[in-house]
Amino acid sequence: MYGRELADVYETIYRSRGKDWGQEARDVARLIAERRPGADSLLDVACGTGAHLSVFSTLFEVAEGLEIAEPMRRLAEQRLPDVTVHAGDMRDFALGRSYSAVSCMFCAIGYLETVADMRAAIGSMAGHLEPGGVLVVEPWWFPENFIEGYVAGDLAREEHRTIARISHTTRKGRATRMEVRFTVGDAAGIKEFTEIDVLTLFTKDEYVSAFTDAGCSVELLADGPTGRGLFVGVRESA
């Protein structure tokens, strides 16, 4: 999951699906500013290749990232040589400072296996907030919204490369297993690889409980960047 081959095609294939990391980052920054005027620092948890972080770094005086997957983190570091990208697990990181805001986008929290893991991650993120700071988390699907057997297909064309992606998702208990097959063609030939993504269907109430127990008020905004909603919490001032 999130190995070198995927890191290489990650942004290209999702941009072909209409994903706009820049606009998403600006929208998140606006939500933060509405709840904490003057917010000047942000930590982007599970920052991936730094696509959101590259824009956050222009909107906040201090913007840093946290990423567990080394191939993704390396791309973020190459892209943003003046931005700190920490290696770490969202469940138990400790950076020794706090931020005006913490974000965790593109359903990254869904990759955690258990409710305890998710609660630990929310607690770690909230623990890095200043009093009154804002926590923004984009969830994976809720159980009632999941479509069994869902198939998606995409084709991305670049000047010297074409990438095809097809996925099939099934459910086993609380877990969703998404098998994603990629075919990449360029001047050197055609190669194929498969990624298996396992994401957990946490409930709305479980997320809300995690925010509340971490000392944050919370609201769920409908739709969000990918139609799955967006949790926005504010850490209690005291």
Does 238 have pLDDT greater than 80?
no
Residues 197-209: tens digit of each pLDDT: 999 999 999 999 9
How far the first Cα of the chain sits from its last, in Å, is 40
CB 124 within 8 A of CB 137: no
Q: How many whole angstroms separate alpha carbon 105 and alpha carbon 101?
A: 13
Percent of the chain at pLDDT > 90 equals 98
Does 78 have pLDDT greater than 80?
yes
DSSP 144: G
> What is the pLDDT averaged over residues 132-153?
98
How confident is the model at residue 237, as a pLDDT?
Answer: 79
Query: CA-based angle 42:47:48, to the nearest 5?
Result: 165
Query: CA-based angle 158:164:167, to the nearest 5?
Result: 145
- Hey, what are 4's tokens? 């070198």
Does 1 have pLDDT greater than 80?
no
Q: How many whole angstroms separate alpha carbon 19 and alpha carbon 31?
A: 19
CB 191 within 8 A of CB 184: yes
What is the model's pTM? 0.97
Domains and CATH numbers, the chain: 4-142+202-235 (3.40.50.150), 145-200 (2.20.130.10)
DSSP 204: H
